[in-house]
Structure 1
Amino acid sequence: MRYSRTCRRRVCAGIAALGIFAAPLGAGTAFAAEPPVPGPYSVAAPAAQGDFPELTPAVAARLDKAIQDVMKEAGVPGVTVGLSAPGKGTYIRSFGIADKATGRPMTPNLFMRIGSETKTFTVTALLELVDQGKVSIDDPISKYVDGVPNGDKITLRNLASMRSGLFNYSADEGFYKAFTSNPDRPFTPQELLDFAFKHPIQFQPGAEFDYCNTNLILLGLVVEKISGTPLHDFIQENVLDPAGLRNTVFPTDAAFPSPHAHGYTIQTASGQVEDATDWNPSWGWAAGAMISNLQDLRTWARVVATGTLLTPETQAERLKVYPTAIPGAGYGLGIFNIQGWIGHNGSLPGYESLTIYLPESQATLVVLLNTDELHDNNEPSTLFGQAITRIVTPEHVYDIPVTAAAPTSPSPTKY
């Protein structure tokens, strides 16, 4: 079998991209870390020089063209976009196809795998336990999980902010081979940790930023241990139900609610494009296994960015961001701030997503697509986000420049 560096990078990204600077499957792409800093800070968004525009037919036409141009350029089969702001209107569009075999069109009601956006749900669950006084964000992980390298020094805050120094299991060659040789295989959280823990620590906790799916697997285990409840049940009862998200699920196997779009990837042992729709997402677990749709993610964008489910104090801690190698971008506790847009992206084999919120305009943007194929080393979700925000918020353009990543990064453009 051919395990090319490009293929490996994409798989890691997909798995890691269960989050923002990560790779597919909810894990994330590792970014080059900046020099150590004393602590978190608030990312200063560019000064606004204009209001969010009314979503008139003329603006909608510009958005239509921009989205279709990205689709054509990046070879995206299908995409759904939801954009809105109070008093400005709502733009919801689907373009392209959801199933190459039948030609079925993409529609706004389809379920999609959301990869690393799962991280926002897992960290919200953890922070709810913080609010309940059952755990401290500054507890060492060794208090809850045995056998973690450097575990007595790595705090839950380090894990949630991607500053633990642990190796990303999705970047391990053995994991890559195991996953691509049998994408239907279920993985346990401990199996995922085993791939990571055979590697030495990358740096001391807090010293650098490095997007790592291993961090979220550990946080998922913490939620389970403290709550005494399986992670998927805890998130359902304490995050999804209170937020009113009726079309979001944390699967425990490869089951996929209908109707859903088919997802297409080249993250395969053969290096050829394959239909990854029914691949088992267990390898992403707390970092990237979840499924949702446009309606729920439009709600979640506001809920997670404004802290509806948390105390103001805990939400303020969440939004304190640490530096990345991207100017104007930082990563907090399971959430990012890119040029003022707060939220997360996701990528795993066959799917990508982007769910972000701009507080000053109370604007929400959700992008869902059925491929994770890079275009010129850029995530297609980034290309869509960039094209859309250039039109509606030119002072706040969502962008994750590929040049910001270190050459050795598993996936240069995924959080």
Structure 2
Amino acid sequence: MRRIPSRRLCTAALLVASVLAPMTAVPATSVHAAAVDPHSVNPYSGDRHDKDDCPPDGLDPKLTTRLDKAIAGVRRDAEVPGVIVGLWMPGKGCYVRATGVADTATGRPMTTDPFMRIGSETKTFTVTALLKLVDDGRIGLDDPISKYIHGVPGGKRITLRHLAEMRSGLFPYSADPDFVQDLLSDPTRSFTPREVLAYGFKHKNTFKPGKQFQYSNSNLVLLGLVIEKVSGHNLVDFIDKRVLHPAHLRNTLFPLDAEFPEPHPRGYTNQTLSGEVEDATDWNPSWGWAAGAMISNLHDLRRWAKIVATGTLLSPETQRERLKMLPTGFPGTNYGLGIFESDGWIGHNGSIPGYESVTVYLPSKKATLVVLLNTDISYENKEPSSVLAQKITEIVTPKNIYDRPVPPR
């Protein structure tokens, strides 16, 4: 995805990777992996696995070697503690690997089966839940947000579609300096949806609805409130019943607080008041709520990638609405309703302190790529998860490169 200021103050970050929008400007501080690096764990070497796993003779050996080398290179250069990669390409094979460490203090190796925080990938679940209500005939995408939620600045002109497309003009609450200070002063604090929205609502809207693209977590928190208002159920229960269960995602959950099922790796961030690296594993993601609080694992995300890109849970008409991609103003990046397209790859990525992810599907090849890692520390002003996805797709789908570099003018 093209570089859009979306996570760190005065620092360019990726369009869709970020749940935590502009925050503190921090110095680049490295995570040092344990000396046992690199670890390479094959899912058939004793880890818990299921029918989605990839046998050892997956892809062509030459491709496998190239992928191993590329991933190791990014991990080394970006100093990423641990990485999980899953690539499934019908007719060619698959590649499932965990490398590096899950805990830099103990050297515990990363494996392919842990639970991971998925940040902004939560948006694909929230918007799918919203679109279920569209299919039920209970809401319309062009309804104004004021019909459901009072107190939204300019709410009579902002539609649910504007919110899902990131074209509302509402100021991102996670870009508010007071929010950043309050969150980082006590990362275990629990925020309510109304509390986080208040940080954004004190700012003027940044543009008229529909006029341009701006990535804003405020949009998704509002959609979460709409789902609760219309369905009569809390968001966690609605997503569980109407999205996770029909999709057969047994290892995906919406935590109520800082809960984090085992096994999971430690996560490392420098989004701290000091700029020093801290362990963010047990930070409370409640501030991200409908925009970024969820947890999943490699194989659930593999399944979800195809479901969300092809619209299995939705009517064809509603899925067509979802995939009406609009330009973001950044070359190569288009955004639909809580979903993006990057050189043919459809899906979303996520970032939350300590963790990053990419989950995308390439319809032309019926290929799926999932990347998970236990740091969100940027590398050369880029999300390391996106650098990994780019390097992987350069090798396996050179005609469809995720976050394809823009040629210099």
Shorter-chain TM-score range: 0.7 to 0.9
Contact map agreement 2:7 2:19 (CA 8 A) in 1: no
Give the CA deviation at 1:270: 1.4
1:373-408 alpha-carbon deviations (Å, 9 max, x no partner): 00110000110011000001111111176999xxxx
Gaps of 5+ in 2: 24-57
TM-aligned CA distance change 1:397 to 1:380, over 3 Å:
same
Aligned to 1:328: 332
Query: Structure 1 regions of 5+ residues with no counterpart?
Result: 1-6, 30-53, 405-415
Secondary structure of the equivalent of 1:243? coil
Go from structure 1 to structure 2 and tell me whether the alpha carbon gap of 1:265 and 1:254 turns closer, same or farther (over 3 Å shift): same
Give the structure 1 partner of residue 291 of structure 2. 287
Amino acid at match of 1:264: Y
TM-score (norm 1): 0.86
Over 3 Å counting, the alpha-carbon distance change for 1:403 and 1:234 in structure 2 is: farther
Change (3 A) 1:150 1:8: closer
Structure 1 runs of 4+ with >2 Å offset: 7-14, 20-25, 400-404
The aligned counterpart of 1:373 is: 377
User: 1:300 corresponds to which residue?
Assistant: 304
Give the CA deviation at 1:93: 0.3
Contact 2:332–2:403 (CA under 8 A) maintained in structure 1: no
Q: 1:10 aligns with which of 5, 8, 12?
A: 8
Q: Distance in 1 between matches of 2:141 and 2:22?
A: 21
CA contact (8 A) 1:80 1:106 kept: yes
- Cα shift readout 1:102-160 (whole Å, capped 9, x = no counterpart): 11101000110000000000000000000000000110000000000000000000000
Question: 2: CA distance between counterparts of 1:209 and 1:312?
Answer: 25
* Residue pair 1:119, 1:287 contacting (<8 A) in 2 also: yes
Per the TM alignment, residue 57 of structure 1 is displaced from its structure 2 partner at its CA by 1.4
Cα offset for 1:85? 1.6
- For residues 210-229 of structure 1, the aligned pairs below 5 Å read 210-229=214-233
Alpha-carbon offset, residue 327 of structure 1: 1.8
SS, match of residue 310 in structure 1: coil
Is the aligned partner of 1:77 residue 2:81? yes
2:231 paired with 1:236: no
Distance 1:383 1:317 in 2: 30
Q: Structure 1 residue aligned with 2:149, among 124, 145, 154?
A: 145
For residues 332 and 193 of structure 2, the distance between their equivalents in structure 1, rounded to whole angstroms, comes to 34
Counterpart position of 1:312: 316
CA distance in 2, matches of 1:401, 1:146: 42
* Residue 9 of structure 1: how far off its partner (Å): 4.5
**Residue 367 of structure 1: SS of its match in structure 2?**
strand
Sort the Cα spacing of 1:374 and 1:23 in 2 relative to 1 into closer, same or farther, 3 A: same
1:44-91 Cα shifts (integer Å, max 9, x gaps) = xxxxxxxxxx82111111000000000001110000000012222110
- Confirm or deny that 1:349 pairs with 2:359: no
Pairing of 1:15-26 with structure 2 (within 5 A): 21-25=16-20
After TM superposition, the structure 1 stretch with the greater mean CA deviation from structure 2, 100-109 or 344-353, is: 100-109
CA contact (8 A) 1:112 1:293 kept: yes
Residue 287 (structure 1) shift: 0.2
Q: How far does residue 340 in structure 1 lie from its aligned partner after superposition?
A: 0.3
TM-score of the aligned structures, taking structure 2 as reference length: 0.87
Aligned residue runs from structure 1 range 153-232, under 5 A: 153-232=157-236
Amino acid at match of 1:166: L
Change in Cα spacing, 1:94 to 1:69, as seen in structure 2 (3 Å) is same
- How much has 1:23 moved relative to structure 2? 2.2
Amino acid at match of 2:8: R
Measure the CA separation in 2 of the matches of 1:209 and 1:236. Answer: 30
Contact 1:28–1:213, Cα closer than 8 Å, also in 2 = no
Whole-Å Cα distance in 1 between the matches of residues 6 and 67 of structure 2? Answer: 34
- Whole-Å Cα distance in 1 between the matches of residues 19 and 170 of structure 2? 18
Instruction: Report the CA distance between 1:100 and its aligned residue.
Output: 1.0
Alignment CA distance shift 1:12-1:332 (3 Å): farther
Task: State the SS of the aligned residue for 1:242.
Answer: coil
Query: Percent of counterpart pairs with the same letter?
Result: 64
